[in-house]
């Protein structure tokens, strides 16, 4: 699947954009713990190229991003695109689909049963935004070092933590992480913390408009509940 991912990036123009983004990182005077890349993907084109990879992206996007992460790391090292890059963990890939298949199973409707939305895959959702919070910061990624000075992992970029969709803030930044080599506590290197913007939006299903019209739609009992969306 790595080979197919590379072929798709080359044919879609994504590889050219990736090289351009790498140049901006390489030309920068700043040191980075995490190199973040946004890759636009067309699920239909990928499915035609390779059905297995297409389905993997649609149904297991977090694991699919790791495939593109590996491909991008090899490309950077082979072409010497970013001299400062040391480990594959420093690359953060965000897959952005241009669209999703027009099928009911890809539509997130919280008013329909059964829910069956336990999988971490892509869904489309429509609703009415009834409240929006202020834009605040969250940790996109952080670098940790072993506190034991004689440990090889007390330097370098062995411990990189990157925020994943659906994770809480404490999953990325916490003070109880331990070194896998010597079991000593890990300490965050604050100079390399990467921040991003997030906003909380309260939404409600568009079917609420029927209730506001003042008449019943043949249902004697119904309830509409809001749901929270995190924009990052």
Would residue 214 be called left, alpha or beta, if left means φ above 0 and alpha means ψ between -120 and 50 degrees? left
Q: How many CB atoms lie within 10 A of CB 55?
A: 14
| More confident: 113 or 187 | 187
Domains of the chain: 1-102 (3.30.1640), 137-196 (no CATH)
**pLDDT for residue 201:** 96
Query: What value does the mean pLDDT take over residues 78-90?
Result: 93
| More confident: 122 or 108 | 122
Is residue 101 predicted with pLDDT exceeding 70?
Answer: yes
Is residue 109 predicted with pLDDT exceeding 70?
Answer: yes
Q: Could you report the per-residue pLDDT of 8-25, keeping only the tens digit for each?
A: 999 999 999 999 999 999
**pLDDT for residue 224:** 78
**pLDDT for residue 139:** 93
CA distance 179 to 90: 18
**pLDDT for residue 29:** 82
**Over the chain, what is the mean pLDDT?**
89
Q: How confident is the model at residue 153 (pLDDT cuts 50, 70, 90)?
A: very high
**pLDDT for residue 180:** 93
160 forms beta bridges with: 143
Is residue 97 predicted with pLDDT exceeding 80?
Answer: yes
**pLDDT for residue 207:** 79
Helix %, strand %, coil % of the chain (to 5): 35, 25, 40
By CB atoms closer than 10 A (0-12, 13-18, 19+), residue 168 is: exposed
Q: Could you report the per-residue pLDDT of 44-72, keeping only the tens digit for each?
A: 999 999 999 999 999 999 999 999 999 99
**pLDDT for residue 202:** 96
**pLDDT for residue 78:** 94
């Amino acid at each position: 699947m790595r080979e197919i991912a590379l072929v798709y990036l080359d044919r879609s123009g994504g590889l050219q954009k990736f090289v351009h983004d790498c140049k901006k990182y390489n030309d920068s005077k700043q040191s980075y713990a995490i190199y973040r890349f946004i890759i636009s993907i067309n699920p239909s084109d990928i499915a035609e190229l390779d059905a297995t990879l297409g389905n993997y992206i649609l149904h297991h996007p977090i694991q699919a991003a790791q495939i593109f992460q590996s491909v991008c790391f090899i490309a950077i090292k082979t072409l010497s695109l970013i001299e400062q890059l040391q480990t594959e963990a420093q690359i953060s890939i965000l897959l952005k689909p241009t669209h999703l298949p027009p099928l009911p199973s890809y539509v997130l409707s919280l008013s329909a049963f059964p829910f069956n939305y336990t999988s971490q895959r892509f869904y489309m959702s429509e609703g009415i935004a009834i409240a929006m919070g202020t834009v605040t910061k969250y940790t996109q990624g952080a670098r940790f070092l072993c506190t034991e000075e004689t440990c090889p992992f007390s330097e370098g970029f062995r411990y990189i933590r990157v925020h994943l969709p659906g994770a809480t803030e404490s999953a990325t930044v916490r003070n109880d992480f331990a070194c896998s080599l010597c079991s000593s506590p890990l300490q965050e290197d604050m100079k390399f913390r990467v921040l991003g913007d997030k906003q909380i939006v309260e939404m409600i299903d568009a079917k609420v408009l029927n209730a506001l019209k003042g008449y019943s739609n043949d249902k004697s009992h119904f309830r509409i509940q809001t749901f929270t969306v995190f924009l990052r």
